[in-house]
Chain A
Amino acid sequence: MIEFRQVSKRFKDTTVLKDITFDIEKGKLVVLIGLSGCGKTTTLKMINRLVKATSGTITINGEDISKKDKIKLRRNIGYVIQQTGLFPHMTIRENIEIIARAEKRPVEAISKRTAELLDMVGMDDSFLDRYPNELSGGQQQRVGVARAFALDPEIILMDEPFSALDPITRTSLQEELVSLQAKVKKTIVFVTHDMSEAIKIADMICIMDKGKIIQYDNPENILKNPTNDFVNEFVGKNRIWESPEYIRAKDIMIDDIVTCSSDLSLSRALDKMRTNKVNSLIVMDKKSKRMDGIVKPKLISKAKDRTISVENIMIKDFVSVGPEDSVVEILKVIEENNISEIPVIDDQGLLLGLVTQSTLITTLSEQYLEEEVE
């Protein structure tokens, strides 16, 4: 929907942006992030032409924005900044309605819309006649968001809207933004310097440094596959623990599993476990690579005749997880079923690996161990 093509920006002799090219898809929340001076705010302000590109083109829905009427363009793009963006001498109603009135929309329609907007941001109409300085920072920011939505624009730009708020208010506004976005599906470009905020709200994260895009990807890939040390450093090593849902079964499972065929005798199976120092054997069909069941030492010790094959005693209705299931879900499954190992099986039924109690402990303890090293 918004396309940057070789966009550069120079202020006198400093180059702020160097040949930026990237696309923002319709309905996505894209976060521009980086250290101060990286060009993220400049990039944002180019979209509504608060900043003019030195070279390159920016298009919205295929139209070059430099050829559009500036005022019209801006009225179709919502804009939210820190709380100073509200006009201090106007009431909340006047602040929200200013553009609709400038557009000479019918008065009744404007009032109706204002009520809807306040409702949308979780405020009631008792605020209408108050002034911004009578509101808390969080409330002011809600009004700022409401104003950005006033003309129902397709695109909304947010320049560090929550950074001046206290952590509790910030968190709740972030959550509300996510749920609001789920409903309205606007194309939102959001600038922040806070990585955890980015991970919490973004569909796509664009990491910038010194006027260039370093990595543009979804949060999970940014966390797991940083393209270089800069991103790695910037994201922070333990960042993944803020979003454990991104730690998936396939990332932590053991794939050299000790298996046996269903016709192995119990005594041999016991031997195999001993020699491999494992607590269970996966019974697998060698041809189809499908898992048939699982055998545990306890089951074998109960059996009187140890010459029979494992087929007779193995657990056949075992619990399994998919490779994309997260560590959170795995822990839940383990707790619910009171088991110590879970096989990871893909949707074709093929066995991929095994998550055991010890792998979980190793994984979960990583965050603390690394912290100590630092």
Chain B
Amino acid sequence: MNVFEYITTNLDQVMNLTKEHILLTTVAVGLAVLIGVPLGILISYFRKASDTVLGGANIVQAIPSMALLGLAIPLLGIGSLPAVVIVILYSLLPIIKNTYTGITSIDKDTLESAKAIGLTRVQILVKIRIPLALPIIMAGVRISSVTAVGLMTMAAFIGAGGLGFLIFSGISTTNNGQILAGAIPAAILALIVDYIFGLVEKLVTPVSIQSTGSNTKEMVIKSRKTQKVILGMVAALLVVMFVSNWVGSLDKADKTITIGGKDYTEQFVVVHLMSDMIEDRTDIKVNRKDNLGGTQVLFGATKSGDVDMYLEYTGTIYGDTLGYSPNSDMIEVYDVSKKELKEQFDIDLLKQFNFNNTYILAVRPETAKEYNLSTVSDLALVADRLTIGSSLEFLNREDGIIGLEKHYGFNFGSEVGINGANKYLAIDNSETDVTDAFSTDGLLKKFELVQLEDDKNFFPPYFAVPLMRSGLLDEYPEIEGVLNELGEVLTNEIMVELNYQVDELQKQPRQVANEFLKEQGLIN
């Protein structure tokens, strides 16, 4: 699907996400200015503190943003708050630095004469230092804002929405149209922000300093009028957006739950499957937060109550969250998980769904033919000649590569960590030979890969199971029945088909889910 098609068919979504992006960026930059400018002024008076503050801001800037985001989740949860906080942290350095430079680089004679004619320190700051430093300060704000627009795409990773949602979703589903539908508006937005702050920068530069050479004072004054009109319109637009957003948030039903989802195709689909079922069968409204990242993010968000529920997998709970060694007994895995989640975290599990999204290994048909591969045992014999391209999570898990290699007694020739749909592209391009996959993955069908049978029963069961924050079932007991009914219907075959529709046919997950439920007569 190309980008224009995507945008025209999903115009509402793109517009809403753009609006969300603008609002989040505005809030973040606004707060960064409110924090950064006074801080910059402060350290220009307490020079001793300036090294510490600038050094601190430098360090924050040096931390990879994804890592900072990960670190912020336990403290701030998910959603807009951590996204805004992190963008603020990143925006601070240029603002503080430029404010400091602007305030301290003012001509000494000018300052001395200000002092000598009897201006107080505060008057010197307000009437002399700040006006003269403003162009430099605004240049810092401009850099920060443009960076913030790009950085804010990360917000989608923790459920704050924005244009990053389209980019991340597009990467997960190898939908280039969707990636561009997020990336192009983000780029345009960045250019617009750059232009707008360019205007502000000019406006705050004293006429006297701006009018040099061929730029006469009259020309400057004249162009100022246009600049003011443009900025006025931008400001009005922002006000309208904030107000409409606020009004919009008012008429949310009070019976609302938030369903989260991880960052891959199946999770996108199940978020909508569960949400559509609940909204159809009950009077509960669902706030759908798909594409929230991995298990850690979602589990943390459920513990803190940012997310009310999401669809987890039994093996993940057992091996990952609870830390047990891999176990292939599906009943024991479920029972232990249910009991211990309740005891340790007061988190509830409903009945297991009917599909088992476990790990499998897959190879290209040519590879299978060349080495005569049909089981993992076959693979073990030739694995040292092959490269596996697998998700980062799988590479580092006891029930992933590490355990698998021990269980079957082999080592891969080399290992490459690739997330999302890119690992399929890598194997399709013969850059890797083996990939891990989920047994329900639609991309298996799309790329026509051969699944290798787990003949020595290494992979634990990964049956889908709804995981809920404490108290949700007490508030909304009607959810349980609805989800149990859905779980009965969803088999491995159906999930592969649904995933395939999204990944290969590039349909919207929401549309796929809705059509399926209607077809099955589960909803009206």
Q: Is B429 an interface residue (CB 8 A)?
A: no
> Which residue from B110, B115, B120 sits with its C-beta under 8 Å from A87?
B110
Q: How far is the CB of B235 from chain A (nearest CB, A)?
A: 24
Identity of the chain B residue whose Cβ is nearest the Cβ of A78 in the assembled complex: B117
- Would B117 and A131 count as touching, CB distance under 8 A? no
The answer to the question of A179 belonging to the interface, with a C-beta cut-off of 8 Å to chain B, is no
B207 contact set on A, CB distance < 8 A: 131
> Hey, which chain B residues are within 8 Å of A78, CB to CB?
117
Question: Are B131 and A89 in touch, CB under 8 angstroms?
Answer: yes
Confirm or deny: A187 has a beta carbon within 8 angstroms of a beta carbon on chain B.
no
Among A74, A82, A89, A148, point to the contact of B206 (Cβ < 8 A): A89
Is the CB of A115 closer than 8 A to any CB of chain B?
Answer: no
| CB of A149 to closest CB in B, whole Å | 11
Q: Name the residue of chain A whose CB is nearest to the CB of B115.
A: A50
Chain A, 148-199, CB within 8 A of any chain B CB: 148, 157
Count residues of B near A (Cβ-Cβ below 8 Å). Answer: 22
Q: Complex formed: what's the CA distance from A318 to B188 in Å? A: 100
Q: What residue in chain A is nearest B120 (Cβ atoms)?
A: A71
Task: Name the one of B109, B118, B208, B209 contacting A85, with C-beta atoms under 8 angstroms.
Answer: B109
Q: Check: A79 CB closer than 8 A to any chain B CB.
A: yes
Q: How far is the CB of B205 from the nearest CB of chain A, in Å?
A: 9
Instruction: Tell me which of A75, A85, A134 contacts B113 (CB under 8 A).
Output: A85
- Residue B127, interface by CB 8 Å: yes
B116 to chain A, nearest CB (A): 4
> Are A133 and B208 touching (Cβ within 8 A)?
yes
B208 touches A131 (CB 8 A): yes
A89–B217 contact, CB under 8 A? Answer: no
In the complex, the answer to whether A89 meets B113 with C-beta atoms within 8 Å is no
- How many residues on A have C-beta within 8 angstroms of the other chain's C-beta atoms? 28
Is the CB–CB distance between B118 and A71 below 8 Å?
A: yes
> Contact between A99 and B109 (Cβ–Cβ < 8 Å)?
no
Do the beta carbons of A74 and B132 come within 8 Å of each other? no
| Chain A hits for B245, CB < 8 A | none
Q: How far is the CA of A99 from the CA of B124 in the complex (A)?
A: 11
For residue A98, CB closer than 8 A to chain B, the reply is yes
CB <8 Å contact, B116 and A50: yes
A78 smallest CB distance to B (angstroms) = 8
Q: Are A79 and B208 in contact (CB under 8 A)?
A: no
Give Cα distance in the complex from A45 to B112, angstroms. Answer: 10
Contacts known (A89-B209, A133-B208); A74 close to B118, Cβ less than 8 A: yes
In the assembled complex, the CB of B40 is this many whole angstroms from the nearest CB of chain A, namely 19
CB contact between A132 and one of B114, B115, B208 (< 8 Å): that residue: B208
- Cα-based distance from A48 to B116 in the complex (angstroms): 7
Q: Does A84 contact B (CB under 8 A)?
A: yes
A84 and B110 contacting across the interface, CB-CB below 8 Å = yes
Query: CB-nearest residue of chain B relative to A91?
Result: B208
**Chain B CB within 8 A of A250 CB:** no
Contact with A along B120-140 (1 / 0, CB 8 A): 100100011001100000000
Q: Which residues of A contact B208 (CB under 8 A)?
A: 88-89, 131-134
Taking each of A45, A72, A88, A102, which has the highest tally of chain B beta carbons within 10 Å of its own beta carbon? A88
Contacts A50-B112, A81-B109, A81-B113; A134 near B118 (Cβ below 8 A): no
Answer yes or no: A147 CB below 8 A from chain B CBs.
yes
B184 in the interface (beta carbon within 8 A): no
- B494 at the A/B interface (Cβ < 8 Å)? no
**Roughly how many angstroms separate A254 CA and B107 CA in the complex, as a whole number?**
59
Does B118 contact A89, Cβ atoms closer than 8 Å? no
Which residues of chain B come closer than 8 Å to A71, judged between CB atoms?
Answer: 118-120
A134 x B217 contact (CB < 8 A): yes
Residue interface bits A57-84, CB-to-B below 8 A is 1, else 0: 0000000000000011111001101101
Q: How far is the CB of B333 from chain A (nearest CB, A)?
A: 72
Q: In the complex, are the beta carbons of A89 and B132 less than 8 A apart?
A: yes
Q: When chains A and B are docked, how far (Å) is the Cα of A78 from the Cα of B116?
A: 8
CA distance A74 to B109 in the complex (A): 16
Q: Are A99 and B119 within 8 A (Cβ)?
A: yes
B217 contact set on A, CB distance < 8 A? 131, 134
A193 vs B442: C-alpha distance in the bound complex, in angstroms?
88
Q: How far is the CA of A86 from the CA of B110 in the complex (A)?
A: 7
- Encoded as 1 (CB less than 8 Å from any B CB) or 0, chain A from 86 to 102 comes to 11110000000011001
- The answer to whether A84 and B109 have CB atoms under 8 Å apart is yes
- The answer to whether B113 touches A98 (Cβ under 8 A) is no
Nearest neighbor of B116 in chain A, beta-carbon distance: A79
Query: Which residues from A are CB-within-8-Å of B131?
Result: 89
Q: Which of B107, B112, B117 contacts A99 (CB 8 A)?
A: B117
Say whether A147 contacts B117, CB under 8 Å: yes
Structural contact, A74 and B116, CB atoms closer than 8 A: yes
Closest Cβ–Cβ distance, residue A91 to chain B (whole Å)? 8
Q: Mark B91-117, 1 if CB is under 8 A from A, else 0.
A: 000000000000000010110111111
Tell me, in angstroms, the Cα distance from A327 to B132 when the chains sit together: 55
Instruction: Give the chain B neighbours of A74 by CB distance below 8 A.
Output: 115-118
A102 with B109: CB separation less than 8 A: no
Question: Roughly how many angstroms separate A372 CA and B131 CA in the complex, as a whole number?
Answer: 57
Q: Report A-chain residues with C-beta under 8 Å of the C-beta of B115.
A: 50, 74
| Bound: A14/B244 CA distance, A | 68
* A84:B107 contact, CB within 8 angstroms: yes
Give bound CA distance, A74 to B206, whole Å.
27
**B113, B123, B131: which has the most chain A beta carbons within 10 Å?**
B113
Q: Which residue of B lies closest to A45 (CB)?
A: B116
The answer to whether B206 touches A131, judged by C-beta atoms less than 8 angstroms apart, is yes
Which B residues are in CB contact (< 8 Å) with A75?
117-118
Q: Is the CB of B132 within 8 A of A88?
A: yes
* CA of A50 to CA of B127, assembled, Å: 19
Contacts of A148 in B (CB 8 A): 117
Q: Which single member of A45, A102, A133 contacts B123 (CB below 8 Å)? A: A102
Which A residues are in CB contact (< 8 Å) with B119? Answer: 71, 98-99, 102
Interface residues of B (CB under 8 A from A): 107, 109-110, 112-120, 123, 127-128, 131-132, 206-209, 217
A-B contact pairs, 29 of them (CB 8 A): A45-B116, A48-B116, A50-B116, A73-B118, A74-B116, A74-B117, A75-B117, A78-B117, A81-B112, A81-B113, A81-B116, A82-B109, A84-B109, A85-B110, A85-B112, A86-B113, A87-B114, A88-B132, A88-B209, A89-B131, A98-B119, A99-B119, A102-B118, A131-B207, A131-B217, A133-B208, A134-B217, A147-B117, A157-B116
9 additional A-B pairs beyond A81-B116, A84-B110, A102-B119, beta carbons within 8 Å, are: A74-B116, A75-B117, A75-B118, A81-B112, A88-B206, A98-B117, A98-B119, A131-B206, A147-B117
Shortest 7 CB-CB contacts between residues of A and residues of B: A131-B208, A74-B118, A89-B206, A75-B118, A85-B113, A84-B109, A79-B116
